């Protein structure tokens, strides 16, 4: 019995790509750092982390349930757990509901406003998976769900809104949408044949990569706006410069004629970008504390 549960859990974590939590979690921590420009309390860090795990696990569980029939037809995704029958739909629903419960509990522990906004979070996390069925702007909806991370972390600590996390969230939106477009280029043939909406399917791969590059110009612009609003220092700006370099390199890896390294651009570089942005922001905050 125990081995079965362990095996199922491993299959589930692989199915939802649990390691991809690395995209949004560092930006949630950045949002938390900016509230008072200091490191939050340990309990706040814990509950923000659990909230992010709950939110992303719930969102990916729903995505796999909603897209299971599409995934079964796509050669790239046909080996996922639900199409192959390695997990039952009811089991994944169970994971999703437990994850939403973890998010709700975490919000309750953090702030009254975070708790009140829980229904909005549920709608945002659930809606994205349907967008590819009717709009090529689906990448922006995915970006929006991850862009809520820094805003949610700010609200969790401050119990209020502020311009800075909104700007940061918009930057995350364009960053995520940009790399999701690159990733979606791998499904160009399948999407066009099966009326799945995406920017590559709508505009072609060459123009899609240009749109992705545009989004990756807009993202740093909003991160710079955060620096202006919050009076960030040189460490933050240095981290942003490194992030811009990673974005530039990401677009050097792919072309309309060669998408073989799209996976590297999608996970390795973007995971590194989010971690480095957090580390440099943390250094900036620590330096400010010690200087002033």
CA distance 91 to 65: 10
| Mean pLDDT of all residues in 85-91 | 89
CA distance 221 to 215: 10
* CATH classification at residue 145: 1.10.357.140
Q: How many residues does the chain have?
A: 292
User: In a 10 Å sphere around its CB, with 0-12 CB exposed, 13-18 middle and 19+ buried, how is residue 224 labelled?
Assistant: middle
3-class SS at 269?
Answer: helix
Query: Domain containing 260: what range?
Result: 2-291
Name which residue leads in pLDDT, 279 or 20. 279
Predicted confidence (pLDDT) at residue 155 exceeds the cutoff of 80: yes
Would you state the pLDDT for residue 19? 62
pLDDT interval class at 102 (50, 70, 90)? very high
CA distance 222 to 239: 14
pLDDT interval class at 131 (50, 70, 90)? very high
Would you state the pLDDT for residue 96? 92
- Per-residue pLDDT tens digits for 231-266: 999 999 999 999 999 999 999 999 999 888 877 666
CA distance 109 to 114: 9
- Per-residue pLDDT tens digits for 206-225: 999 999 999 999 999 999 99
Q: At what angle do helices 270-291 and 25-36 cross, to 10 degrees?
A: 20
CA distance 94 to 46: 23
Predicted confidence (pLDDT) at residue 91 exceeds the cutoff of 70: yes
Q: Long-range pairs for 282-287 at CB < 8 Å and ≥24 separation? A: 282/29, 282/33, 282/39, 283/235, 283/239, 284/232, 284/233, 284/234, 284/235, 284/236, 284/239, 285/33, 285/37, 285/38, 285/39, 286/39, 287/233, 287/235
Count structural domains, the chain.
1
Residue 207, phi then psi, degrees to nearest 5:
-70, -30
Predicted confidence (pLDDT) at residue 7 exceeds the cutoff of 90: no
Would you state the pLDDT for residue 196? 95
């Amino acid at each position: 019995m125990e081995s079965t549960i362990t095996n199922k859990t491993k299959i589930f974590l692989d199915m939802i790509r649990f390691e991809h939590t690395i995209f949004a979690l560092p930006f949630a921590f950045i949002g938390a750092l900016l509230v008072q420009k200091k490191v939050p309390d340990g309990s706040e860090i814990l509950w923000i982390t659990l909230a992010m795990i709950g939110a992303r696990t719930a969102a990916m569980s729903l995505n796999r349930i909603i897209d299971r029939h599409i995934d079964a037809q796509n050669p790239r995704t046909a080996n996922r757990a639900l199409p192959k029958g390695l997990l039952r739909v009811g089991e994944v629903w169970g994971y999703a509901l437990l994850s939403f419960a973890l998010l709700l509990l975490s919000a309750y522990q953090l702030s009254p406003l975070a708790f009140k906004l829980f229904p909005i979070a549920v709608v945002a996390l659930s809606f994205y998976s349907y967008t590819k069925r009717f709009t090529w702007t689906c990448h922006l909806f995915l970006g929006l769900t991850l862009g809520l991370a820094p805003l949610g972390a700010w609200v969790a600590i401050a119990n209020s809104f502020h311009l800075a996390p909104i700007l940061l969230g918009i930057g995350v939106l364009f960053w995520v949408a940009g790399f999701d477009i690159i990733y979606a280029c791998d499904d160009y043939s399948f999407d066009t044949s099966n009326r799945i909406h995406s920017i590559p399917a709508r505009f072609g791969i060459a123009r899609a990569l240009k749109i992705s590059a545009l989004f990756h110009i807009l993202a740093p612009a909003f991160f710079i706006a955060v620096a202006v609003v919050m009076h960030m220092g040189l460490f933050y700006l240095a981290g942003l410069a490194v992030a811009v370099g990673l974005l530039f390199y990401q677009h050097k890896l792919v072309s309309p004629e060669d998408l073989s390294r799209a996976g590297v651009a999608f996970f390795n570089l973007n995971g590194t970008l989010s971690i480095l942005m957090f580390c440099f922001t943390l250094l900036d905050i620590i330096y400010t504390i010690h200087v002033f």
